[in-house]
Structure formats: C-alpha cells, structure tokens
Amino acid sequence: MTPELPGGRDHPAWLTVVSTFIAYGVIIAVIAVIMFGVPYLAFSGV
C-alpha cells in the first residue's frame, strides 16, 4: 500500500509549502552574501 499525501498532491497547501521553502532559501542566500561577500570585497581590496 502506497501512502498518499493529505489533501492530494495538487492541493494549494503543498504549493504554499514549496514556495515557503524556496523563499526561505533565497533569504538565507541573500543574508549569506551580505554577511560574507560584502566584507570579503571590502577587505580584499577589490
């Protein structure tokens, strides 16, 4: 027996879950660039 996702795979809640994780990843990437990339450029003399 194959378990099914609650509400089916095409339920709008799953789109919300995926969108949340993608947005979270983008925010973390931007913060990482700000915290590590900007100081690197500032102190490397580029």
pLDDT for the residue 13:
86
What is the Cα–Cα distance from 25 to 38, expressed in whole angstroms? Answer: 19
pLDDT for the residue 46:
67
Q: What is the pLDDT of residues 1-46, one digit of tens each?
A: 666 766 677 888 889 999 999 999 999 999 999 999 999 999 997 6
**DSSP per residue, 1-46:** -----TT-TT-HHHHHHHHHHHHHHHHHHHHHIIIIIHHHHHHHT-
Token pair, residue 18, equals: 């995926």
pLDDT for the residue 24:
98
